[in-house]
Amino acid sequence: MNRDEVIDFIHDEAWMLDEGQYHDWLNLWLPNAVYWMPLNWNQQDPVNETSLLHEDNFMLRLRIERLHGARTFSQKPKSRCHHVLNRPRILELTEDSARVATKMHYVETRLDEQQLLALTVTHDLKATPEGIRIAGKRVDILNCDAAFGNIQLLP
Amino acid sequence: MTEADLKSRVDALIRPQQVHRDVYTSPEVYALEMRHLFRNVWVYIGHDSQTPNKGDYITAQIGDQPLLMVRHTDNEIHVLYNRCPHKGTKIVIDKAGNTGKFFRCPYHAWSFKTDGCLLAIPLKKGYEGTGLEETEASHGLAPVGAMMNYRGFIFARLAPEGIGFEEFFGDSLSSLDNMVDRSPEGKLTVAGAPLRYMHKCNWKMLVENQTDTCHPMVAHESSAGTAVKIWEEMEKPEGTPTPAAMEIIAPFMSPYEFFENMGIRTWPNGHGHTGVHHSIHSAYSDIPGYLDAMVAAYGEERANAILGENRHNTVYFPNIMIKGPIQQLRNFIPLGPDKTLVESWIFALDGAPSELTARTAMYNRMINAPTSMVGHDDLEMYERAQEGLMADGLEWVNIQRLYEDGEDFSEEAVLNGTTERQMRNQFDAWKRFMIGGAA
Ligand code: FES
Ligand SMILES: [Fe+2]
């Protein structure tokens, strides 16, 4: 794994989410990886406290399938989203793994409403014969302890 | 508004089988609720484990009234108005903190003991001979009308006179008891921060939804139904255990019959619960070590009786719901006629394995988070209803499923689990406590 590959990967992942290429996106994940979105700034415990999201492969798959369901009322009409990335900051880099933190602005819209979230996204990546894969992802929302309405897609 | 005017305004809104849409949409009715209903009843403030040490405080509210809850030097909890008696500044504004032995107002440094009493005023001689002791300011931070610490759960009533705590809640306290008894030590501790979920709808829509057993299989088909489908289609080795997430979400797809048979119980004063005989929480798998700890604490018979209760949602009128079997509390905080903040709290059972807390944390984030697939569809329904109610073609909201002539809400009743009697029970209490609580 080199620096450029890692940075391209981070950008490609966000691009897939914005384009709604969810099945390709899910293929980027290792089977035991977890997507974690803490409820509190500097939250350490994802298990015995509530989080906004702490989802394994099964839950992420459910989330994606649901978005396309015939009776998914909160997605009629559908939401759209948009990530703007700062330059990823490589925290660790070895031949077959990397840890990367990226500041992002995330915009989600539906009907006449639009919301903006400021994120710090930390990726744990692993090299596999099929390419780079996600071993874990933590998304810290700047105002994670604020009261939100629906956040329906994936920041 | 005279008492007679208030009574006729309120009476005109509630019929036995339907309620006028103004109870959800009218700013005038909302203002009356803040002024009367929320003043006359017992409202949940917080849990004593949020303020474990002397000087610990949290900010809270009853209706639109800013309050604080604090642990005094004698270890007792006090609930006070969060308003400096000098010029009105809020004394504290963070969600939680520790103030030490006294509060000090940040504006002109008047200070108060943690029971609210005025402690000191800088340059006090400026008040000599001015008659300060005759003003309300000299009494310090004002206390609420009454408060109660029931097994760690703090409730308060704003009105100095009114219905007593025991009389208001009566036998409905059995649900809170069951939640606390599930700890081998008889004690709960708040686990982490609450989810905070903003809803552009009236607070009562959320409370009514807690005993609405005809919506899960419809509104939540997209999440629960899809989960069941994915799990069935998934290639997995024989005997693969059902994941915890499936145990939580699959029961939402239970057929009508399941919800009919589970039963609803209503108590006087607007309280009630679903899941008299079984509930969506009944079939959770055992967590090793828990039953042993319960039997050691209570003996086998009592432990089995405690764990045999599987009440689903218990509504404590006016605005909280608890889930005893998983130690969750949801607070439906009114912020306007069409704005409600929902706080969803979870508790750890002292002396029980932490896996129970982990399951509850999973439930909370899967079902009640702003990022939750289940919550998304609920919120969508409430907000559509709030907008739909503006239609002038119809004026009434229907709550008559399984209505019976001559329903008497002063009696406890157990009925078919799809009845809307609990919604009618809430409006019976609403009507009475809007005008002071008299029968
Ligand atoms: S407003 Fe509090 S001391 Fe003046
Ligand atoms: Fe629901």
Nearest to B199 by CA among B78, B80, B337: B337
Residue B96: CATH number of its domain: 2.102.10.10
Task: Say which of B231, B344, B380 has its CB closest to residue A73.
Answer: B380
- Domain final position from B118, B150, B182: B150
Q: How far apart are CA B330 and CA B364, in angstroms?
A: 10
Mutate to test the interface with A, among B350, B371, B380 (most CBs of A within 10 A): B371
Which two structure tokens, joined as six digits, stand for B269?
Answer: 């004063």
* Host H or E run for residue B44: strand B43-47
In terms of DSSP bridges, do strands A35-37 and A131-141 run parallel, antiparallel, or are they unpaired? Answer: parallel
Amino acid of residue B254: S
pLDDT of residue B1: 83
Residue A36 — very low, low, confident or very high, per pLDDT cuts 50/70/90? very high
In a domain, B84, yes or no: yes
Q: Which of B81, B83, B87, B93 to mutate to test the pocket of ligand 1 (most atoms within 8 A of CB)?
A: B87
Q: Inspect the interface and report whether the beta carbons of B223 and A62 lie closer than 8 Å.
A: yes
In a domain, B225, yes or no: yes
Q: How far apart are CA A5 and CA A20, in angstroms?
A: 22
In a domain, B282, yes or no: yes
In a domain, B20, yes or no: no
Mutate to test the interface with B, among A32, A34, A40, A73 (most CBs of B within 10 A): A73
Give yes or no: residues B197 and B279 share one domain.
yes
Q: How far apart are CA A107 and CA A126, in angstroms?
A: 28
* A94 in contact with B, Cβ within 8 Å: no
Q: How distant, in Å, are the alpha carbons of B38, B177, B273, B315, B414 from that of B423?
A: 18, 23, 11, 10, 14
Q: Inspect the interface and report whether the beta carbons of B358 and A51 lie closer than 8 Å.
A: no
Which residue minimizes the CA distance to atom 4 of ligand 1?
B108
Q: Inspect the interface and report whether the beta carbons of B195 and A39 lie closer than 8 Å.
A: yes
Q: Inspect the interface and report whether the beta carbons of B192 and A37 lie closer than 8 Å.
A: no
Q: Are B33 and B40 in contact (CB under 8 A)?
A: no
* Host H or E run for residue A119: strand A113-128
Question: Which residues on B lie below 8 Å from A79 (Cβ)?
Answer: none
- E strands in B129-253: 146-150, 153-157, 188-190, 195-199
Q: Which atom of ligand 1 is nearest to the CA of B108?
A: 3
Contacts of A70 (CB under 8 A, 6+ apart): none
Q: How far apart are CA B70 and CA A88, in angstroms?
A: 45
Q: How far apart are CA A70 and CA A75, in angstroms?
A: 9
| B322-369 pLDDT tens trace | 999 999 999 999 999 999 999 999 999 999 999 999 999 999 999 999
Q: Is the CB of B84 under 6 A from ligand 1?
A: yes
pLDDT of residue B439: 41
- Torsion, CA B410, CA B411, CA B414, CA B417, rounded to 10: -10
Residue B437 — very low, low, confident or very high, per pLDDT cuts 50/70/90? low
Q: What is the DSSP letter of A129?
A: T
pLDDT of residue B104: 98
> What's the CA-to-centroid distance between B97 and ligand 1, angstroms?
20
In a domain, B408, yes or no: yes
Tell the burial category of B206 from Cβ atoms under 10 Å away from its Cβ (0-12, 13-18, 19+).
buried
In a domain, B159, yes or no: no
ipTM greater than 0.95: yes
Which two structure tokens, joined as six digits, stand for B351?
Answer: 């002396």
Nearest to B344 by CA among B312, B320, B376: B320
Question: Which residues on A lie below 8 Å from B198 (Cβ)?
Answer: 147-149
Give yes or no: residues B145 and B179 share one domain.
no
Q: What is the pTM of this model?
A: 0.97
Q: How far apart are CA B284 and CA B249, in angstroms?
A: 11
Q: How far apart are CA B296 and CA B301, in angstroms?
A: 11
Q: How far apart are CA A142 and CA B144, in angstroms?
A: 36
Bridge-partner residues for A133, per DSSP? A126
| A60-76 pLDDT tens trace | 999 999 998 999 999 99
pLDDT of residue B438: 47
Nearest residue on chain B to A153, alpha-carbon basis: B371
pLDDT of residue B436: 80
Give yes or no: residues B194 and B120 share one domain.
no
Give yes or no: residues B229 and B348 share one domain.
yes
Give yes or no: residues B100 and B177 share one domain.
no
Q: Which of B110, B123, B141 to mutate to test the pocket of ligand 1 (most atoms within 8 A of CB)?
A: B110
B140: left (phi over 0), alpha (psi -120 to 50) or beta: left
| B160-196 pLDDT tens trace | 999 999 999 999 999 999 999 999 999 999 999 999 9
Residue B363: CATH number of its domain: 3.90.380.10
Q: What is the DSSP letter of A52?
A: S
Q: Is pLDDT above 80 for B258?
A: yes
Chain centre distance of CA B308: 23
Q: Is the CB of B277 under 6 A from ligand 1?
A: no
Give yes or no: residues B221 and B120 share one domain.
no
Give yes or no: residues B105 and B181 share one domain.
no
Q: How far apart are CA A44 and CA A51, in angstroms?
A: 10
Domain limits, chain A? 3-141
Q: Is pLDDT above 90 for B34?
A: yes
Give yes or no: residues B61 and B181 share one domain.
no
In a domain, B410, yes or no: yes
In a domain, B33, yes or no: no
Give yes or no: residues B190 and B108 share one domain.
no
- CATH hierarchy code of domain A3-141: 3.10.450.50
Q: How far apart are CA B374 and CA B414, in angstroms?
A: 28
Tell the burial category of B125 from Cβ atoms under 10 Å away from its Cβ (0-12, 13-18, 19+).
exposed
Which residue minimizes the CA distance to atom 3 of ligand 1?
B108
Bridge-partner residues for A84, per DSSP? A105
Give percent of chain B with pLDDT exceeding 90: 96
Q: How far apart are CA A69 and CA B226, in angstroms?
A: 8
- When divided into structural domains, chain B yields a total of 2
Three-class SS of residue A45? coil
Domain that holds residue B242: 173-434
* A66 in contact with B, Cβ within 8 Å: yes
